[in-house]
Amino acid sequence: MVTASHNPPGYNGVKFIPTDGAPAPQAETDDIESRLGDTAAGGAFERRNFRESYVEAVLGAVDADLTGRTIAYDAMHGSGRGVTDRVLEAAGATVHRHRCEHEPAFGGTAPNPGPERAAGLVEAVTSGAVDLGIVNDGDADRVGLVAPGVGYLDESLVLAVLYEFLLERATGDAVRTVSTSSLVDGVAAAAGRAVHETPVGFKWVAEAMAETDALIGGEESGGYGLGSHLRNKDGVVTALLAAAADAERPLAERIRELRASHGPVLQDRTSVPCPDDRKATAMEALVGDPPERVAGRAVTRHETVDGLKLYLEGGAWVLVRPSGTEPKLRIYAEATDAETVGELLSDAHERVEGLTS
């Protein structure tokens, strides 16, 4: 695949995908990288159109009747155009298209979903013109949702809602990254199932899904994969799954019940600038001498699955990990109220900042 994912076109690069459709293991990508200078090997290509067979596969993966539903779909000029909207229409929905024109520069912005970058979609939903809003990123492996009465949905909330919807029809565990909200853990516990935590990166999620035969895997950036369909992020099949869940029972109602049963759970994050050559040293210092308290709350245990995750009294947590794409250290915090989240981020930011200079 040639893709810039959710980034501007200048980030275009080559992504290798094995025959099972899951993310390539590290050993395979390392082997490919070692051969990049070899110009002796020949090759050929042919043009094939998989659109129709893929639409059929998605419709076969999710039982959805969207008859009578009106959905606004925003492709952000990406590869979801002509695919996600066709899937939704084939399931019975009337689709209002946003940014579905061919535009290689993505209209001059990064095709990265979010409430600010999908303002037209949010307006369409809040005005009452449509029943649901769906947006894909540039390569359509991620999805964002806008629901009446809720607005743009937090990505971790989407994972919990979709998992609970799947549990109404099947049984199985869930997989999430270390930075994803623990809200889904409450859903799993109520069903007598487990949640498996992985480092950030969907290749780790995919491996855990295979090992645990999980129903769903997800990450806090809006990527979700269904074990019954593909052990990889797929914003098209997730869009249909979310629309099916909403058609059966409005997402706003599902979210209210989730929060009443397993919440409130709030999360936010910040970053500290850190040169790439300082990341390892800073993290070693933090892991080697973890704090006993954060913002006055005692640390009950810590894990180093990816960076340093501190679990605090009262169920809150703080995570510090190096960014894999930018010269920054990421800081995540989760608690039951926004004030506590802010305090945790502020304290952690001050501590981490002192290690990066």
Q: Which domains does the chain have, with CATH numbers?
A: 52-262 (3.40.120.10), 266-356 (3.30.310.50)
User: For all residues of the chain together, what is the average pLDDT?
Assistant: 94
List helix spans (H) across the chain.
26-34, 51-61, 84-90, 119-126, 155-167, 183-190, 202-212, 235-248, 251-262, 276-288, 338-356
Determine how many CB atoms are found less than 10 A away from the CB of residue 235.
Answer: 25
Phi, psi of 36 (to 5 degrees): -65, -25
pLDDT band for position 87 (cuts 50, 70, 90): very high
Q: What is the pLDDT of residue 26?
A: 86
User: Where does the pLDDT of residue 191 fall: very low under 50, low under 70, confident under 90, or very high at 90 and above?
Assistant: very high
CB 172 within 8 A of CB 149: no
Q: Is the pLDDT of residue 37 over 90?
A: no
pLDDT of residue 185: 95
Task: Give pTM, 2 decimals.
Answer: 0.91
Any residues with CB less than 8 A from the CB of 280 and at least 6 apart, and which?
322
Mean pLDDT of 134-159: 95
- Strand 293-294 to 266-273 pairing: unpaired
134, 73 contact by CB (below 8 A): yes
First to last CA, the chain: 38
**Of 165, 166, 125, 167, the residue nearest 145 (C-alpha):** 125
- 332 has a pLDDT exceeding 70: yes
Q: What is the per-residue pLDDT for 357?
A: 74
Residue 325: pLDDT above 80? no
The confidence score (pLDDT) of residue 230 equals 86
Q: According to the model, what pLDDT value does residue 103 have?
A: 92
DSSP state for residue 11 in the 8-state scheme: G
pLDDT band at 40 (very low <50, low <70, confident <90, very high): low
Residue 126: Cβ within 10 Å count: 14
Q: What is the pLDDT of residue 41?
A: 65
Q: Scan for tokens 């293991």, then name that residue.
A: 25
How many whole angstroms separate alpha carbon 235 and alpha carbon 127?
Answer: 25
Cα 253 from chain centroid (whole Å): 22
